Amino acid sequence: MLLAVLVANSEGNILVERFNGVPAEERLHWRSFLVKLGADNLKGVKNEELLVASHKSVYIVYTVLGDVSIFVVGKDEYDELALSEAIFVITSAVKDVCGKVPTERLFLDKYGKICLCLDEIVWKGLLENTDKDRIKRLVRLKPPTEF
């Protein structure tokens, strides 16, 4: 299960979050845990360099992309490597939508589009589409495979 996808800005304010199968009362803890994790470790990290953490049997992979940091949390089959895969899809979708490495402003400008992309990437806690072009098509309400 991909438990959470979370995007925060450099100050630690959360811009996007998608929780799946996380009880409401635990989300608060996850949020602050992730934000703190980012604040502690993401300084000076290169764009898209993947960092890893774990808590019990839950894995966390996170990275920084321009002004935003992206966190994905998963368990079971979504281990650190699967999450790396997922975060790669997410970062490339974000870059695609924004046209470049996003600044916070750019990210917010494209907020709606990014939400739609995310919707195609993670569907009910499972990674769905990983192919960039396919995501692009689906977001434009085109069939996943074009004829």
DSSP string computed for the chain: -EEEEEEEETTS-EEEEEESS--HHHHHHHHHHHHHHHHHH-TTPPTT--EEEEETTEEEEEEEETTEEEEEEEETT--HHHHHHHHHHHHHHHHHHHSSSPPHHHHHHTHHHHHHHHHHHEETTEE----HHHHHHHHTT--SS--
Shortest CB 93 distance to other proteins, Å:
15
42 binds other proteins (CB under 8 A): no
145 binds other proteins (CB under 8 A): yes
Residue 44's CB is within 10 A of a number of other CB atoms, namely 7
CA 64, 141, 122, 114 torsion-angle sign: positive
Which residue number, 10 or 95, has a Cβ lying nearer to other proteins? 10
Size of the site for other proteins (CB under 8 A): 78
List the interface residues with other proteins, window 110-139 (CB under 8 A). 110-113, 115-116, 119, 123-124, 126-130, 138-139
List the interface residues with other proteins, window 43-82 (CB under 8 A). 50-59, 61, 75, 77, 79-82
Shortest CB 65 distance to other proteins, Å:
16
Shortest CB 143 distance to other proteins, Å:
5
Shortest CB 101 distance to other proteins, Å:
17
Exactly one of 25, 44, 46, 100 binds other proteins (CB under 8 A); which one?
25
101 binds other proteins (CB under 8 A): no
